[in-house]
Structure 1
Amino acid sequence: MSYNFDTKEQLKKFIADEVLNSAEAIEYLGISRARLSQLIKDEKLIPIKKLQRDSLFLKSDLEEKKKEMEKLRKKYRPFDHM
């Protein structure tokens, strides 16, 4: 996927709307910090930037992971969805 921005304001809006930090990703996915760390370690979720104490993610990557996780939860934990 390619992104093009004509102005700095467009870039800022994209970052504000489409880039999430670790805390936001944890909340969005409904998982623990330890689970997020494990997903990153196992390369099942790749941050767009990894900092010493935080990581940044594209919202579209998190949306894909959330759909995958929900599908697996329904399969392996069917009683949670009744």
Structure 2
Amino acid sequence: MKYKKNSKEDFIKLVQSEILTSSEVLEELKVSRQSLSSLVKRGKLTPIKELPRVRLFLREDVEARKEIAKEIQAKYNTVLMNKQ
């Protein structure tokens, strides 16, 4: 693949900022490895590339999942407050 001047560097910056490894996703979502596997199996989060010991995810997909998790937590907290 041929790159124009700076395009390789730009591409590297893009990948570094927009692609997350499984470990980074675990930190971002504050979930266990088992929970991440469950999210993937249930189609709630889709890796863009899977290798035997590595999964890569788009940051925007992880951010979207994070927002969904916040909404679910808020609903759960509301239900708990109403039961008290």
Q: TM-score range by the shorter chain?
A: 0.7 to 0.9
Q: Within the alignment, does 1:22 sit opposite 2:22 as a pair?
A: yes
The aligned counterpart of 1:39 is: 39
CA distance, structure 1, for counterparts of residue 25 and residue 76 of structure 2: 23
Scaled by the length of structure 2, the TM-score of the pair is: 0.82
Unpaired runs of 5+ in structure 2?
Answer: none
Mapping of residues 1-82 of structure 1, within 5 Å: 7-78=7-78
Q: What's the C-alpha RMSD, in Å, of the aligned pairs?
A: 1.6
Moved segments of 4+, more than 4 Å: none
SS of the residue 2:14 aligns to = helix
% identical aligned pairs? 40
AA paired with 1:55? R
CA distance, structure 2, for counterparts of residue 69 and residue 53 of structure 1: 26
Return the index of the structure with the highest Cα Rg. 2
CA distance, structure 2, for counterparts of residue 43 and residue 53 of structure 1: 19
Scaled by the length of structure 1, the TM-score of the pair is: 0.84
Unpaired runs of 5+ in structure 1?
Answer: none
* Aligned-pair CA distance for 1:47: 0.4
Number of residue equivalences? 75
* Aligned-pair CA distance for 1:54: 1.6
